[in-house]
A and B are shown apart, each in its own frame.
Chain A
């Protein structure tokens, strides 16, 4: 747990740009919320490695969202069921179903489709919100926090040393 929290604060206090961190969290939505061994995740990995996305944020976010997925899965399945059984969308799904490429993506799986849709819907909000939080933290909270006596005391404490060691 310490390890986890330590990494998180290290990330927030580091030099990485808030935009890269936010992008890492946003891409992590797909890896965490959708079934891991899916073809679309190969594309996500391609983007994450090819674009300057903060990998720390990405892997940290993936772990957090994978935990959250246990609670979100029932909702994802409901969304997938709803979409795949929607009569208005039937022709579209049927058309996609004729293609081997699309079926390789398992778009007709309720959990997979639902969780991908939720990830797509949350992608932009996650990007902006996490960017805002990281920026705000660094501008206001981090500076204010460093000025506090207690923070100076903490820096001298064993906990801080441990926290520092984790960041190395």
Chain B
């Protein structure tokens, strides 16, 4: 049996395999460091720096030291950093290229630490420079916006309500929209009209036509040549008339269309300020029910800041959890029949490409106010971190629990990020109890929440691209104070003296990048009566100011166009006149020479006939007059005789009646 063994070959095999393994192990650390830095940087959009990665063998483990993940928005700061991470590895999956990490423990985890060098990606910096050059105008616009933002912030600090300028800058106004619309429309129509206008004859040209026409028609034709010459000139003039008539018709049409279009837009623009005002009034209604804006002004900046930071972290993590590329590769593999495929079976031991089964670390919470120190620690445990949740059939789970908390009874954050099916669904819960707040600036008339014990609960649901967040805070034993001596500050302070506890509710829903955020507080209700007077007065001022500003905007857009419309009306009138003049000229005709002679004879004939007719008419009129006079005389005679007869009859009738009355008297008397 031993004679079958080739000892030299066996030794050679062992040496070669050992050599390959040694090289692989030596190269693994630097290779992994390169890979983590390269792909990590690409994933977060800023530098990811690793000091060292070393390999351990009993058990197989990786130790990563000095990791810094730069903040892409603030390159001199780290989003997160840690001193060491010790990860155990499963050996056999590693042979298949699967990185399965049963446990990772991080130490020295910190958020927002300062960097000694910039964490900006070089390529990104170049691209940004290019984009800066390209969007110089946009930047100008945005800087204007930022100016107005800072103005807004200042305005908020000094006053209860946002100023009218701030409201107008913040809101998307119909006045602006319709104004721009009218402006664009006017430019377009003007171009059309100008083009058509260039083709029509002016007053001088019209007079010239008339003179030319009179010259052609003046006097009698001397002979046939004269007639032909005049006819030729007349035809040429007629052709010009027709061309000019067409040009005028086109211009008239253009002006008519412009008038209609601009009139419609103008009337929309005229109505826009009223509509804008109604909208703004509704939105910035500052009675009891609509006092949500007051809560937003009191707490909005802080809540908005926290939410923004949280969303930034979420946007970094979320895409890493679904591995679309891997799914596409899998499909591609299935399509390539000749290369074979992997058949998967049910398993209690699934093997994704990358899987950290448990990641745990403890980190310091940031200090709330400078010099007060950290509020404590939070122990974080994350389970099942992988880009192939469908393979392990489990979502990523997060549990963060407060430890050694200062001024806080308990803090618990749980999260489930489920990317197994599309659309993905991520849930987060926050529960914070007994948070002792002291001297919290409320950013309004120097107002401070001197002390309060708060409990906060929040629930956030993220489905693909959309969010739904609801948060509630209960603030007990609240004490407020302000050092400001203004009327508002005094009134507010007085009102807040009676407030022992209040709630703040916030909700955010809609698209992840532009959610609809609302913030409500029963503090508004409590302050309502105290503020009603002040608010009414302030609202009236605001309304007046708004109206004025909106009208200014209307004038800015509409002023010129009203004049332009008048001009258009005048132009239209002038065009009508010109059109009539041309019509009149066009009706003029030149007849043939023979026709002219015939016309003259006919005219003579007509004149003689007219004379005879006139004589006849005069004689007939005289005869009729005489007849009428005689008839009138006879009729007068007849009337007189008739009247005489009637008077005689009446007299006789009266005599008979008197005789009858006398007889009756005798009989009964």
Knowing A93-B345, A108-B344, say if A51 contacts B5 (CB, 8 Å): yes
Question: B338 touching A73 by the CB < 8 A rule?
Answer: yes
Question: B4 touching A52 by the CB < 8 A rule?
Answer: yes
Contact of B12 with A by CB under 8 A: yes
Selected contact of B96 from candidates A98, A106, A110, CB within 8 Å: A106
Complex Cα gap A85–B584 (Å) = 98
Cβ proximity bits B336-359 to A, threshold 8 Å, 1 near / 0 not: 011111111111110100000000
Stretch from B87-95, B169-177, B511-519, B591-599 at the A interface: B87-95
Within 8 A of B (CB), among A37-55: 39, 42, 45-46, 48-53
Question: A74 touching B342 by the CB < 8 A rule?
Answer: no
Question: B92 touching A104 by the CB < 8 A rule?
Answer: yes
Contact of A24 with B by CB under 8 A: no
Question: A49 touching B95 by the CB < 8 A rule?
Answer: no
> Inside 8 A of B337's CB, which chain A residues have their CB?
77
Contact of B9 with A by CB under 8 A: yes
Contact of B663 with A by CB under 8 A: no
Contact of A67 with B by CB under 8 A: no
Knowing A73-B338, A106-B96, A110-B340, say if A51 contacts B345 (CB, 8 Å): no
> Inside 8 A of A39's CB, which chain B residues have their CB?
95
Within 8 A of B (CB), among A95-132: 97-101, 103-104, 106, 108-112, 114
Question: A108 touching B343 by the CB < 8 A rule?
Answer: yes
Contact of B6 with A by CB under 8 A: yes
Contact of B24 with A by CB under 8 A: no
Question: A52 touching B347 by the CB < 8 A rule?
Answer: no
Question: A109 touching B340 by the CB < 8 A rule?
Answer: yes
Q: Describe A's contact surface by its main secondary structure.
A: helix
Selected contact of A100 from candidates B13, B92, B339, CB within 8 Å: B92
Question: B345 touching A90 by the CB < 8 A rule?
Answer: yes
Contact of A18 with B by CB under 8 A: no
Contact of B667 with A by CB under 8 A: no
Interface residues on chain A, number (Cβ under 8 Å): 35
Complex Cα gap A73–B340 (Å) = 9
Selected contact of A98 from candidates B10, B93, B349, CB within 8 Å: B349
Knowing A52-B5, A77-B338, A98-B349, say if A45 contacts B343 (CB, 8 Å): no
Contact of A28 with B by CB under 8 A: no
Question: A98 touching B338 by the CB < 8 A rule?
Answer: no
Question: A103 touching B96 by the CB < 8 A rule?
Answer: yes
For B91, the closest partner residue in chain A by CB is: A100
Within 8 A of B (CB), among A15-62: 39, 42, 45-46, 48-53
Complex Cα gap A54–B376 (Å) = 71
In the complex, what's the smallest C-beta–C-beta distance from A90 to chain B, in angstroms?
7
Complex Cα gap A51–B8 (Å) = 10
> Inside 8 A of A99's CB, which chain B residues have their CB?
349
> Inside 8 A of B17's CB, which chain A residues have their CB?
42
Complex Cα gap A52–B2 (Å) = 10
Knowing A49-B6, A100-B349, say if A77 contacts B340 (CB, 8 Å): yes
Complex Cα gap A49–B341 (Å) = 31
Question: B342 touching A50 by the CB < 8 A rule?
Answer: no
For A51, the closest partner residue in chain B by CB is: B4
Complex Cα gap A57–B343 (Å) = 34
> Inside 8 A of B93's CB, which chain A residues have their CB?
100, 103-104
Selected contact of B348 from candidates A50, A53, A93, A98, CB within 8 Å: A98
> Inside 8 A of A42's CB, which chain B residues have their CB?
17
For B94, the closest partner residue in chain A by CB is: A104
Question: B13 touching A106 by the CB < 8 A rule?
Answer: no
Contact of A84 with B by CB under 8 A: yes
For B350, the closest partner residue in chain A by CB is: A97
Complex Cα gap A53–B9 (Å) = 10
Question: B5 touching A108 by the CB < 8 A rule?
Answer: no
Complex Cα gap A80–B339 (Å) = 12
Question: B351 touching A46 by the CB < 8 A rule?
Answer: no
Question: B343 touching A85 by the CB < 8 A rule?
Answer: yes
Selected contact of A49 from candidates B4, B9, B90, B348, CB within 8 Å: B9
For B6, the closest partner residue in chain A by CB is: A52
Chain B residues within CB distance 8 Å of chain A = 3-6, 9-10, 12-13, 17, 90-93, 95-96, 337-349, 351
Given contact pairs A98-B348, A101-B92, A103-B93, enumerate 4 new A-B contacts (beta carbons under 8 Å). Answer: A42-B17, A48-B9, A49-B13, A104-B95
| Among all A-B residue pairs, the 6 with the closest Cβ atoms | A111-B340, A100-B92, A49-B9, A49-B13, A110-B340, A97-B345
Sample 16 A-B pairs with CB under 8 A, ordered by A number: A50-B10, A50-B13, A77-B340, A85-B343, A90-B345, A93-B343, A98-B348, A100-B91, A100-B349, A101-B92, A103-B351, A106-B96, A108-B344, A109-B342, A110-B340, A114-B340
